[in-house]
């Protein structure tokens, strides 16, 4: 029985190392961005104005830091709109300051970070599941879709991150991308998920699909660490 456990452990270690090696290869400057079709923001080189819409302070770090790092490092002009200050526990002002601190680490100019605290927006882009199923995340998704409905281009974006064209209409001057939710297993298997992301991209061949790797994981950790009011002791 011991040798079976040893073999399984060895295979898992090999899979982990192979996944890290693949991630390192794909992270190389000469390696192309994982994609199954061209077009869209992530395959263009000119600078763009981008608005990231989130529900709470800490969403930008917990879910979008790889995307933020990718876009800002390539010269895009990123703005962040947070539709609440997360005041459910009376810590709204603290959480708003934590958002600014995290954005400073993520290299997003503070004058380009806006928060709202309007009762009618409590609660109004994630996808329709909102990564964790959080109702506020899902409402942001539906709010953005409602704003864009009928005259824009909608994409999906996975945090690691997959994207596909959902809807194309006559006007394409604005591209909207949303974070694709994955199951709990994929969220916690680390670099091994790269294989599943590639298979997912192959499965959706013919659609606009992208896969972003987290180029600065330490920056993501430091940004999330600024949200100390959300730590669980």
Q: What is the pLDDT of residue 100?
A: 96
Asked whether residue 169 carries a pLDDT value surpassing 60, the answer given is: no
- Higher per-residue confidence, 38 vs 222: 222
Cβ partners under 8 Å of residue 11, min gap 6: none
pTM value surpassing 0.85: no
Q: What is the pLDDT of residues 95-149, one digit of tens each?
A: 999 999 999 999 999 999 999 887 655 443 554 444 555 677 777 777 777 776 6
Q: What is the pLDDT of residues 147-159, one digit of tens each?
A: 766 544 455 444 4
Q: What is the pLDDT of residue 57?
A: 92
Strands in the chain per DSSP E = 34-35, 49-54, 77-82, 113-115, 153-158, 163-167, 175-176, 179-180, 210-211
Q: What is the pLDDT of residues 72-98, one digit of tens each?
A: 888 889 999 998 898 878 888 999 999
Cβ partners under 8 Å of residue 113, min gap 6: 79, 80, 82, 99, 100, 103
Burial 193-208 (b: 16+ CB within 10 A, else e): bbebbbebbeebeebb
Q: What is the pLDDT of residues 32-70, one digit of tens each?
A: 445 544 445 555 557 788 889 898 899 999 889 988 988
Top CATH class, 33-230: alpha beta
Q: What is the pLDDT of residue 121?
A: 53
Domain boundaries of the chain, sorted by first residue: 1-31, 33-230
> What are the respective helix, strand and coil percentages of the chain, to the nearest 5?
45, 15, 40
């Amino acid at each position: 029985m011991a040798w079976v456990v040893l073999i399984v452990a060895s295979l898992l270690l090999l899979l982990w190392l192979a996944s890290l090696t693949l991630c390192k290869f794909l992270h190389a400057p000469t390696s192309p961005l994982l994609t199954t079709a061209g077009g869209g923001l992530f395959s263009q080189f000119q600078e763009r104005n981008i608005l990231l819409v989130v529900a709470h302070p800490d969403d930008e770090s917990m879910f979008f830091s790889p995307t933020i790092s990718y876009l800002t490092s390539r010269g895009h002009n990123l703005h962040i709109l947070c539709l609440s200050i997360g005041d459910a526990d009376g810590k709204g002002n603290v959480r708003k300051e934590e958002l600014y601190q995290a954005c400073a680490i993520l290299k997003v100019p503070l004058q380009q970070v806006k928060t709202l605290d309007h009762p009618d927006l409590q609660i109004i882009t994630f996808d329709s599941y909102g990564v964790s199923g959080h109702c506020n995340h899902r409402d942001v998704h539906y709010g953005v879709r409602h704003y864009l409905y009928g005259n824009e281009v909608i994409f999906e974006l996975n945090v690691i991150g997959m994207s596909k064209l959902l809807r194309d209409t006559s006007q394409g001057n604005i591209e909207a991308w949303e974070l694709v939710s994955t199951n709990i297993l994929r969220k916690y298997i680390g670099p091994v998920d790269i294989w599943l992301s590639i298979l997912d991209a192959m499965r959706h061949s013919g659609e606009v699909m992208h896969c972003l790797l987290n180029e600065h994981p330490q920056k993501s950790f430091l940004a999330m660490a600024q949200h100390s009011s959300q730590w669980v002791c």
